[in-house]
């Protein structure tokens, strides 16, 4: 079934405390996937920046370049997890239909957790 994109607005108003109306489960799952990706991506970007290993451009290119930097540093596994997580985020953020979002969110959050726990070793 096609996702009702207006549910993101309902979720946004709920998160902002404007309303107490809950949104549907799919909007929450999709948002969890997206937030999981950004947690992992921003932590990786900032970790590399703080160690003077990467200078962010603050453009969409950072999404590819952070993974590339991790590969150059010999951390192919972290880079691969970050790329897979971005693929999950793209599905959640752009596709009208995401089959089994419950499974996708579990997979995505597992990837995010793995990236976050491995970053201190970079």
Q: Summarize pLDDT for 18-40 with one digit per residue, the tens.
A: 877 777 889 999 999 999 999 99
Chain mean position to CA 21:
25
**CA 27 to CA 51: how far, in whole Å?**
36
Tokens, residue 87: 């693929």
What pTM value is reported for the model? 0.90
Residue with tokens 């959640």, as numbered in its chain: 92
Residue with tokens 């089994």, as numbered in its chain: 100
**CA 63 to CA 58: how far, in whole Å?**
10
| Residue-wise pLDDT tens digits, 43-102 | 999 999 999 999 999 999 999 999 999 999 999 999 999 999 999 999 999 999 999 999
């Amino acid at each position: 079934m096609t996702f009702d994109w207006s549910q993101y607005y309902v979720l946004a108003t709920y998160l902002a405390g404007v309303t107490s109306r809950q949104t549907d489960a799919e909007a929450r799952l999709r948002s969890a996937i997206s937030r999981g990706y950004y947690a992992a991506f921003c932590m990786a970007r900032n970790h590399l920046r703080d160690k003077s290993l990467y200078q962010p451009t603050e453009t969409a290119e950072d999404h590819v370049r952070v993974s590339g930097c991790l590969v150059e540093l010999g951390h192919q596994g972290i880079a691969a997890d970050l790329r897979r997580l971005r693929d999950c985020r793209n599905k959640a953020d752009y596709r009208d239909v995401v089959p089994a979002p419950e499974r996708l969110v579990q997979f995505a959050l597992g990837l995010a957790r793995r990236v976050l726990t491995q970053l201190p070793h970079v």
